[in-house]
Amino acid sequence: MARCPLLHSFKNRSDENGLKKILFFVFVCLMILTFGTTSFARTVLVSHESGLEILGYGDKWCTHLTSALDTATGNNVAVVSDFSNLSQMLTYDALWLDPRKAITGSLTDTEINNIKSFIATGRRVVMIGDNGYDGINWTNWDNQILGIVGGTFVSGSAYYGNTIPVASNSLTDGVSYVKLMASGLANGGTPLFDQNFATLWGSNVLTILDVNALSDDVWGEGGWEGMYQFQTNIANWVANSSYSNEQPVASIKSYTLEEGAKAEGRPMVGGTIIFTPEGSTDPDGGDIARYDWEFKNKQTGETIEPKTCSTSECTVVFPEPEEYTATLTVTDDEGTQGTATVTLDLRLQKGDLILIRSGRPYSDVFDWLSQEYTHIGMYVGKDDIYGKHWMIESAIGVKKSGLQDGVQWTTFYRWSIDNGETYADAVRVNLPQEVKDAAVEWANSKRGLKYDLKSIGENR
């Protein structure tokens, strides 16, 4: 930070000269604090192919440009050979892409997609091309960088002569004209000069189709003042790139397992429920690097461990008919997190009917929408002694565990087999509560008895 000159004390001095000195020192201090540095304290990542001269940042014939960019960023410039690492790119405030070898130089598809993703964040990008002269032309390269922003290269263009600004902004400020030595021209965008060699695309992408425009006056042509000013303006513009990492958005979708596949439907206690992060996104164009899941009993806080879990989905079996929460925390490639929570209400009411299939093997695929049920059960509540949920079920012509047909008391762990395939469905019957209460009271009174409900099943 620039320092203010020492202010001397003028104790007990009332003369006008003393006051003028104080005001003068204050003025000088403010001037230094305001103009003492041109750094915007931004970081710029440059892609520069080594071994090429007069082609951009750091080259011996681009000393003015290099100095301007170093000054504007406070020397916060890093150089890489390519833009293949998006995670690395997203740690910088701006990008600068120097041209590669004429005729053979090119960007990979990965680089193109990475640059597009970076542009989508709103941060600034400068991309440099050149002319389409027959002997040494950058036609392929120019079409690649312009194609990223929806433009095209004017085939064969190599403009010689002066060009004057047609846009009034920070990039053309103080520039009366620029001398072009063999400039390529673009179709599209917002031209900065009457010859469209320098073009704005949206508010955060600048293309320059002339390497000479970024060089020192190596040709000894003179009249390079406008070029130097333009270089300084470009450096300040890209260094003033503003960016604030946006919080990623977490989103949860749940499915039930039916007929061996995911299906949208009402989740069931004891059945396999599949959770996915569908809809989760990083709105600033970055990537979601981590997905962390947590499943809990809403009342007790007990953690429910998923059966399987990956970045794409988690499968969970909730053992009791209670309320549960599923929480997804997503972390983007810059460490910022977003969280979403959904609640699944798997609670039952006393008197709810439970339709149950039977038959062997239980591993057969079960589709509750079309299954022929051979049992009917009823939820009778949670006991106060063991803390278990109970239902009664009517075995109609099927013997289970050596028991006879009739009323059987069952805890809910028997709702699913080992692989989590649900073989029951709860139905909330449309009956007055007093009827449900009477049914539950009757069921409780028959506990321990082998009461035959077969006739009820046949006549209902």
Q: Mean pLDDT across the chain, nearest whole number?
A: 77
Q: Note the pLDDT of residue 356.
A: 64
Q: Give the model's pLDDT for residue 318.
A: 84
pLDDT of residue 330: 96
- Residue 256 in tokens: 């039930």
Determine contact, residues 350/437, Cβ cutoff 8 Å: yes
- Residue 374, phi then psi, degrees to nearest 5: -115, -5
Question: pLDDT-based confidence at 224, cuts 50/70/90?
Answer: confident
CB burial readout 310-322, b (16+ within 10 A) else e: eeebbbbbbbbbb
Residue 183, strand partner residues: 159
Is the pLDDT score of 432 beyond 90? no
More confident residue, 237 or 385: 237
pLDDT over threshold 50, residue 359: no
Highest mean pLDDT: which range of 245-259, 274-288, 391-405:
274-288
For 283-350, give the DSSP string. TTS--EEEEEEEEEETTT--B---SEE-SS-EEEE--SSSEEEEEEEEEETTS-EEEEEEEEE----T
Q: Which residues contact 61 (CB under 8 A, 6 or more apart)?
A: 53, 54, 215, 216, 218
Q: What is the arithmetic mean of pLDDT over 70-94?
A: 93
Instruction: Give the confidence band of 302 by pLDDT, cuts at 50, 70, 90.
Output: very high
**Region of residue 275 (phi > 0: left; psi between -120 and 50: alpha; otherwise: beta):** beta
Helix (H, G, I), strand (E, B) or coil at 64: helix
CATH superfamily of 253-345: Immunoglobulins (2.60.40.10)
How many helices (H) and strands (E) would you count in the chain? 8, 24
The pLDDT of residue 65: 94
The pLDDT of residue 460: 26
Higher-pLDDT residue of 373 and 235 is: 235
How many Å apart are CA 389 and CA 412, to the nearest integer? 6
CB 243 within 8 A of CB 123: yes
Token duo for residue 44: 């710029």
Residues 6+ apart with CB under 8 A from 379: 321, 348, 349, 350, 351, 352, 353, 354, 389, 390, 391, 426
> Domain ranges in the chain?
1-36, 41-239, 253-345, 353-459
**Residue 49 three-state SS:** coil
Q: What whole-number percentage of the chain has pLDDT above 90?
A: 40
Contact 206, 198 (CB under 8 A): yes
Torsion of CA 120, 122, 124, 128, to 10 degrees: 20
Backbone φ and ψ for 303, nearest 5 degrees, come out as -80, 135
Half-sphere exposure of 19 (CA within 13 A, CB side): 3
pLDDT for residue 85 is more than 70: yes
pLDDT band (50, 70, 90) for residue 195: very high
Query: What does the pLDDT read at residue 452?
Result: 43
Amino acid, single-letter form, for residue 29: C
pLDDT, average across residues 303-313: 90
Encoded amino acid at 53, one letter: E
Domain 41-239, CATH class in plain words: alpha beta
Do 41-239 and 253-345 agree at the fold level? Answer: no
Residue type, 201: W
Residue 426 scores a pLDDT above 80:
no
pLDDT of residue 358 exceeding 60:
no
User: What is the reported pLDDT for 235?
Assistant: 96
**Which one is predicted more confidently, 181 or 64?**
64
Whole-prediction pTM value? 0.53
